[in-house]
Structure 1
Amino acid sequence: MKIMKSMEKIPGGLMLVPLFLGAIIHTFAPKSGEYFGSFTNGLMTGTVPILAVWFFCMGAGINIKATGTVLRKSGTLVLTKILVAWAVAFIGALFIPEGGIQTGFFAGFSVLALISCMDMTNGGLYASIMQQYGSKEEAGAFVLMSLESGPLVTMLILGTTGLAAFQPQAFAGAVLPFLVGFILGNLDRDFRDFFSKATHTMIPFFGFALGNSIDLTVIAKTGLAGILLGVLVIIITGIPLMLTDKFIGGGNGTAGLAASSTAGAAVANPMIIASMKPEFMPVAQSATALVAASVIVTSILVPIMTAYYSQYMKKKNKGKVVTKGNQFTA
């Protein structure tokens, strides 16, 4: 049976398939973890420890000796993504109530959902797209996108916009596993090679654990709103990313469009934030459902849009060369 390959054909499948499996169990048998107890309960409810290991391995896999071109490109994209998410949070807080929108087409929308969708890029998706439509340096720009992974950036945005206050030790606790992994991975290449292999291995496990905290009836309620949010993520983050890629990063905008997705790991952020700040718990489930929908929508649309845009730019540049050649020969 080709179960693994079938999962990989689904955008974000390694994350989303286990997540929905866990959500099905939680929806129809919410006490399963308690009933079995022991290791089974730990596997179904251990989102935080599983993510802690994943963040450590993610940090260990980053090589500080990346080229200057890669760092400039990735730094431009990461900072732009974060700044756009911050602006969205600031503006959203003016119009969206603290408990999120409760009724109507936008029911479930909250500032937490918006930030979680927009502050993290799907690095793996970006790298695979740019390997096909960009240069090696552009493909390698995902090196800093790992810094967006986890709740730290979301916490910083919530804190700096005045939407939540976190104790300094909470920030340190959120980033410490990542930093320890980063330091060890750069002190010893063997450490980096060993731990970086576990990055993908951990994805289904935290997807399954996260799914066991989601009620599928909440996902059903998002409906078209989840699809709309995915489209908004591409528009709201994609345009600034394309502009900064072109005018600062030295590209033609293709890398910026390729970075306008929602990371699969972002699905975990609402629940993690809610575990730290219980006042977000009422909107955490709906935010998780919306982020999951955004992951799927952006994973499908971003590669298609990037392919068309890349072809358009190639034709445009080819036309310029031909025109110049004709003028020269004339």
Structure 2
Amino acid sequence: MDQLLRYIAKIPGALMVVPLFFGAIINTLAPEVLEIGSFTTALFKDGTSVLIAIFFVSVGSQISFKTALPSVEKGIVLLLSKFGVAALVGVAVAFLTPDGTLWGLLPLAVIAAMSNSSGSLFVALTSQFGSKTDKGSISILSINDGPFLTMIALGAAGLADFPVQTLFAAIFPIILGFILGNSSSIARAFLAPGEKLIIPFVGFSIGAGIDFNELVRSGAIGVLLGLMTLVFSGTATITCVYLWHRIRRHPRESRNLVAGAAESAVAGNAIATPAAIAAIDPSLLGIQAEATAQIATAVVVTTFLTPFLVSFVASRQRKLGITPEAEDRLFEEATPDTSDNESESIEHTTRPTGQEVKQPEFTLDRE
């Protein structure tokens, strides 16, 4: 078993992808297996919301006050870039194609899929590959859950109220974890293992809600939507995170782009967006089912491809000397004003002399 697990660990994003894949296979071929009831169904089929809530508490506990502001900034950058490209592509399909669709791909499906990001997959991937600010940015990204941003992009914002209570309910677990982790080092240490421990269970539970038959139902159009989301959303979010690093003049080694790649997936709750939109605008009832099928397929496609994209980006930037750890140090440590002094300090602190080296006043404050 140990040898098998070592082999599986070589798969990009294995901690999330492998359990998710098995969950999807079981749900497609024998869904009744997950419906036997009691604790089995509660954990493997219906436990997604609870597991993610606990996961958010663990993640929030590891975010320090020093990284809270950068997390908010990064979250805003990701939110605006993902929504912007969704609106741009959706409007282009609606107005620049002969019949208002692209080979049958509906603007409603494009905007709903591209503007909704998979929060659970995002946090799972950033926990495995990203920095603390990556994980913390989910507090802002929760805004794009549901049909709210899709309504804005479709020109229906006046028909909807901003779901403040729903938004607060979605981010409260991470706020609670943030308070616990910053008020008690014991609580932070206790909750830390939850970040990775829960990932495979969340992955399987998400997979248990995926049906591979959706790929057949919407055909190549749904697959195209998934690929478009991966390419357009991924490119936009990665580029904007990079520009944020440049504008903020962060050192090169701290320009971590994992969060941008992790934001390239379609959220499972986007599947319900066409129904919510059609309930407000009955004129869209005729395309509701078709849009839903296209989005469902895009969810399946991006759920499996996004971890590979994140793994590639993480591996590529490490080869270039860019790491999430460097980004964490940037926001958590008292860095000096000049990079020369910082380099000198690091050199002194890591010199293998076997003796304690007296630090100058400008050296990094390491825990």
TM-score normalized with structure 2 length:
0.64
RMSD of aligned alpha carbons: 3.9
Provide Cα deviations, 1:167-219, integer angstroms capped at 9, x if missing partner. Answer: 32211211111111211221111111111211111111121111111111335
1:52 is aligned with what amino acid?
Answer: A
Distance 2:79 2:319 in 1: 26
Give the structure 2 partner of residue 315 of structure 1.
Answer: none
Distance 1:14 1:308, change over 3 A: closer
Aligned residues of 2:233 and 2:263 also touching (Cα < 8 A): no
Give the structure 2 partner of residue 130 of structure 1.
Answer: none
Residue 79 (structure 1) aligned with residue 69 (structure 2): no
Aligned residues of 2:93 and 2:107 also touching (Cα < 8 A): no
Residue 238 (structure 1) aligned with residue 238 (structure 2): yes
TM-superposed CA distance for 1:104, in Å, is 5.4
1:37 is aligned with what amino acid?
Answer: G
Provide Cα deviations, 1:244-290, integer angstroms capped at 9, x if missing partner. Answer: 322323344972545431259x66x3238839x75599255224213
SS in 1 for 2:201: helix
SS in 1 for 2:15: helix
Residue 89 (structure 1) aligned with residue 86 (structure 2): yes
Give the structure 1 partner of residue 145 of structure 2.
Answer: 154
Aligned residues of 2:180 and 2:187 also touching (Cα < 8 A): yes
Gaps of 5+ in 2: 95-99, 278-287, 323-367
Aligned residues of 1:19 and 1:209 also touching (Cα < 8 A): yes
2:307 is aligned with what amino acid?
Answer: I
Distance 1:25 1:87, change over 3 A: same
Distance 1:178 1:140 in 2: 13
* Equivalent residue for 1:202, pick from 193, 198, 202: 198
Give the structure 2 partner of residue 22 of structure 1.
Answer: 23
* Equivalent residue for 1:298, pick from 305, 309, 329: 309
Distance 1:174 1:285, change over 3 A: same
Aligned residues of 1:50 and 1:202 also touching (Cα < 8 A): yes
Aligned residues of 1:117 and 1:294 also touching (Cα < 8 A): no
Aligned residues of 2:59 and 2:192 also touching (Cα < 8 A): yes
Aligned residues of 1:76 and 1:249 also touching (Cα < 8 A): no
Distance 1:160 1:166 in 2: 11
Distance 2:261 2:321 in 1: 17
**Identical counterparts, % of pairs:** 25
Aligned residues of 1:7 and 1:13 also touching (Cα < 8 A): yes
Distance 1:290 1:253, change over 3 A: farther
Distance 1:21 1:298 in 2: 20
TM-score normalized with structure 1 length:
0.70
TM-superposed CA distance for 1:74, in Å, is 5.1
2:75 is aligned with what amino acid?
Answer: V
1:295 is aligned with what amino acid?
Answer: T
Give the structure 2 partner of residue 181 of structure 1.
Answer: 177
Give the structure 1 partner of residue 56 of structure 2.
Answer: 55
Distance 1:168 1:117 in 2: 19
Give the structure 2 partner of residue 135 of structure 1.
Answer: none
TM-superposed CA distance for 1:11, in Å, is 1.7
Distance 1:76 1:115 in 2: 18
Distance 1:102 1:94, change over 3 A: closer
* Equivalent residue for 2:136, pick from 137, 144, 150: 144
Distance 1:167 1:226 in 2: 27
Distance 1:194 1:204, change over 3 A: same
Structure with more relative contact order (C-alpha pairs < 8 Å, separation 6 or more): 1
SS in 1 for 2:239: helix
2:37 is aligned with what amino acid?
Answer: G
Distance 2:116 2:164 in 1: 21
Give the structure 2 partner of residue 323 of structure 1.
Answer: none
Distance 1:141 1:124 in 2: 10
TM-superposed CA distance for 1:118, in Å, is 8.9
Distance 2:48 2:29 in 1: 20
Matches within 5 A, 1:63-74: 63-64=64-65, 66=66
* Equivalent residue for 2:126, pick from 119, 123, 128: 123
Distance 1:101 1:28 in 2: 33
1:246 is aligned with what amino acid?
Answer: R
SS in 2 for 1:45: coil
Gaps of 5+ in 1: 128-138, 312-330
TM-superposed CA distance for 1:302, in Å, is 1.6
Distance 2:107 2:151 in 1: 24
Aligned residues of 2:27 and 2:210 also touching (Cα < 8 A): yes
Distance 2:9 2:263 in 1: 15
Give the structure 1 partner of residue 8 of structure 2.
Answer: 7
Distance 1:107 1:204, change over 3 A: farther
1:154 is aligned with what amino acid?
Answer: D
Distance 2:101 2:31 in 1: 26
Count of residue pairs brought into register by the alignment: 290
